[in-house]
Amino acid sequence: MSRVVVAVSVAAALGLTAACGGGDGDGGGDRDGGKSSTSQAKPKGPGGGAGGSGAEGGSGGSADASPEARKLKAKVIAAGDLKRAALKRYEVTPRERSKLEAASDGAATTPAACRPLSDMMAAATPPKAKAHAGRAVAPKSVRDDLATTDVELFAYDSPDSARKALRDVRSALRSKECGAFRAGGVRYSGVAPEAAPDKGDESVAYKLGSRQEQLVKRHAVVVVRDGSTLVSFAARNYYDPESVAGEDESRKDGGGTDLPGSDKADEEPEVPSAVVDAQLDKVG
């Protein structure tokens, strides 16, 4: 099979021509009457390793000892919060990130206007936030056809500051130059707004893709503001276009791989609503 077929498969997986979803097309809405410029909203891949926030979340250094960081750690999702029937096949784990992704957390982006999009997935405290904590909600078995969801909490000094941070995410989503961008050593592409859930004070949703060795890593992101806290949920799965193009049967017969996700180009990850509800209940 030619490399042209592989390239087409990758483009399809990243949704390079995806349309906006839902609402007024900006991926979210404000439900607390705040002012803004718009009407507002465990498994590893190859090379994966523990990184970023680790078991305790946070961005490292003295910031982890701040009162804000301690409060967030008490609010981030834990094993005891997975009591809902829809979450019985999941467990809470430390954040797993490839070395490349860990090194890119909080890094400058090109173009610079796109940084809010990568900040919402980073296991690090973004600019103007006071603290961060994170966990991963992962399927208990790699045999489960479920995506891992990274959960990040970011504390700001006021609801207005958190609202401004979310507004910056919307602005980046509207920007044509952010359809593809680089954060540190990671290149993201296929960026597109999605329909945001009616959660918290306001919310935003979007999708994007990156590469991890030969795989396409797909991300579905939902960001919810609850007062002065932003809560980010990033579900991810993997797609191997070369394997599919070569008609590799190893995934179809259930053997030959321990990678999470789908071998289908059009089967993108979704943030489980039960994970969102469990985390927001704890934040509230």
Domain limits, the chain: 3-283
User: Among 31-45, 206-220, 269-283, which stretch is predicted with the lowest mean pLDDT?
Assistant: 31-45
pLDDT at 3 over 50: no
- pLDDT tens-digit readout, 7-26: 434 444 444 333 333 333 45
Q: Express each pLDDT in 213-268 by its tens digit.
A: 778 889 999 999 999 999 999 999 888 877 655 555 444 444 334 444 455 666 78
> What share of the chain in percent tops pLDDT 70?
68
pLDDT at 276: 97
Q: What is the pLDDT of residue 266?
A: 63
Q: What is the model's pLDDT at position 264?
A: 63
Q: 189-202, pLDDT tens digit by residue? A: 999 999 999 999 99
Q: Residue 38: which of 17, 24, 19, 57 has the closest Cα? A: 24
**Residue 144's pLDDT band (boundaries 50, 70, 90)?**
confident
CA 249-48-258 angle, to 5 degrees, is: 25
